[in-house]
Structure 1
């Protein structure tokens, strides 16, 4: 039997290679189209306003830490003469501002109680998991990012009828720790701060110490002479705003011991003393242990430890990541705490 010429074998190989290349190209194009579609849908979802009345406004602020997007919730029917309070809400790792708004349902409360809500959003180029760089103070990144967030706050106060004397900040996880950093670096700008499942202020100053801090190590020293240095506070005692601490005792991401450490540090810095612990429970929701730290009859720290709550927003929307519908409503607790501090500050 005669052997086929080498040119025939080469031609067959070329045709087979071209068929494979064509199939691979088509598969890649289909995959690329699918991925592009998913990206487009995800982007459209982030632009879609959360449920409820009012406006979902987009913006961008530029500061020492670079540019950061934000959304601002504006309640409906604002009158020309009105100036409303503002609550800054800082999301946790793996979340966006919209995710945080949907989980907490803060906009629905803001529509009823009439206040603005600002949702800054971390850039994935600044942190791949979308975490705020609250811990990276040794390099200066944390302070630069905090300054950028203040730029977003200033922009909101300039563009919208915000009452600058009624501003509070709250956050979850990394957002809680960044909220504490903002309050210690810019204490006179906030009348209240709320930390939900965050790390004790001053417990980390670099990426290397952040993980240990989340596990409850590196707790800052408690003597009053060392508190300011540990927290990195611009001022202590009379200038720090009152603090609400919320934490679940079943949190395996950020050790629950951070809650007590946070309350102690802040109480020491404000000269507040703890009162008796009391337990509160509403219906079948998780029980909550509450301790208030007071000075001169005023509460400067309120510690709320929620039984059975993991690393999630207490009382958040059901079936969402980092959200536990069975807990007492952190959304209501935070706003009630902030509103009370606004009244107290106005009376001083």
Structure 2
């Protein structure tokens, strides 16, 4: 059954800008990229559980984007909680990504807020963030909208703006990394799950080659001094059996972070929790601090590790990526607090 299109109250000029974005996103290159990804259609079903699931919207030069915010129950007066920004992959929306990752359950237990910005299908018919389209500026426009959503949530809700982290899956992972390269001082940690690092593509066609691991990643515009002072550490999680986004991209991402910081790789270690897929973990260290961590999960394809098995892009047999992402971010929050 087709859903009825929702009427909007935007001005004609604003509607015209959205139509223009749609036309840019539906050319031959975008269709080719969509064929490669073949995402499932996300269902609009709110995740269950305790706490508030609140809608929001931001508007800017790149159009409008909706978001959902999860807020755990019992937030006291004057209390300020950390914020984790979660960017979904192609074929997903805020509801399905929250359900697939189970991040709200982690937030309920650990007491933090979760922001789920949502791509507009008029900007990309497959629901992908346009992380690759730096040539036209669309990628940076969407990054600006996400940052605007973060600012809005920090203003309207009990968020500690000094404890903000961002994570994403696939196209969302690539957008998360791009956002951090533009505003590194705004985040304390960044996590990429099955994504392509920034500086690897600039168009839809170059994105296809990048996803296949056939393009070089440009060095980050940072020095060891600026990395140490302003850039957040990076966690990369990638499936060894991923045929949609080559695992070579995960290695390229941590090497870009490590190269800019002058970090060296530590010894790899194998970790397995119960009967879940084993994973290889490598830390990249500079001056005794972790700059980047690479986690390669054995037998994991293009899916959120430990995600809901009944959801698109979720693999319940993998180690729990949501717990790993939060543990990584929480560690950076604690270390930052110890330094101030």
Determine which of 148, 157, 161 is the counterpart of 1:151.
148
Determine which of 281, 289, 303 is the counterpart of 1:290.
281
Change in 2 beyond 3 A, CA 1:236/1:202: farther
Q: How far apart are the structure 1 equivalents of 2:308 and 2:74?
A: 26
Pair 1:275 & 2:275 matched: no
Match of 2:2 in 1: 35
Q: How far apart are the structure 2 equivalents of 1:305 and 1:330?
A: 11
Match of 1:25 in 2: none
Determine which of 89, 94, 97 is the counterpart of 2:91.
94
Pair 1:65 & 2:56 matched: no
Match of 1:255 in 2: 246
Change in 2 beyond 3 A, CA 1:271/1:64: farther
Determine which of 205, 217, 220 is the counterpart of 1:227.
220
Contact conserved, 1:201 with 1:265, CA < 8 A, in 2? no
Q: What is the Cα deviation at residue 340 of structure 1?
A: 0.1
Give SS of 1:228's match: coil
Contact conserved, 1:200 with 1:219, CA < 8 A, in 2? no
Greater helix content: 1
Determine which of 106, 121, 124 is the counterpart of 2:118.
121
Q: How far apart are the structure 2 equivalents of 1:162 and 1:300?
A: 25
Counterparts of 1:1-348 in structure 2, within 5 Å, are 34-36=1-3, 46=44, 48-221=45-218, 226-228=219-221, 236=227, 238-348=229-339
Greater Rg, structure 1 or structure 2? 1
Give SS of 1:111's match: helix
Unaligned residue ranges in structure 1 (runs of 5+): 1-33, 40-44, 230-234
Give SS of 2:67's match: strand
Please give the TM-score of this superposition, normalised by the length of structure 1.
Answer: 0.83
Q: How far apart are the structure 1 equivalents of 2:3 and 2:56?
A: 24
Q: How far apart are the structure 2 equivalents of 1:117 and 1:96?
A: 14
Aligned residues: 301
Match of 2:34 in 1: none
Q: How far apart are the structure 1 equivalents of 2:331 and 2:150?
A: 21
Change in 2 beyond 3 A, CA 1:209/1:99: same
**Poorly superposed stretches of 4+, deviation over 6 Å:** none
Q: How far apart are the structure 1 equivalents of 2:173 and 2:162?
A: 21
Q: What is the Cα deviation at residue 151 of structure 1?
A: 0.5
Give a deviation string over 1:260-311, Cα, whole Å, max 9, x none. 1111011112222110000000111100000001111111101000000000
Q: What is the Cα deviation at residue 38 of structure 1?
A: 11
Could you tell which deviates more after superposition, 165-174 or 260-269?
260-269
Give a deviation string over 1:104-140, Cα, whole Å, max 9, x none. 0000110110000000000000000000010111111
Unaligned residue ranges in structure 2 (runs of 5+): 7-42
Q: What is the Cα deviation at residue 236 of structure 1?
A: 4.7
Give a deviation string over 1:41-75, Cα, whole Å, max 9, x none. xxxx63x5311100000000112321100000000
Q: How far apart are the structure 2 equivalents of 1:65 and 1:37?
A: 25
Q: How far apart are the structure 2 equivalents of 1:227 and 1:83?
A: 33
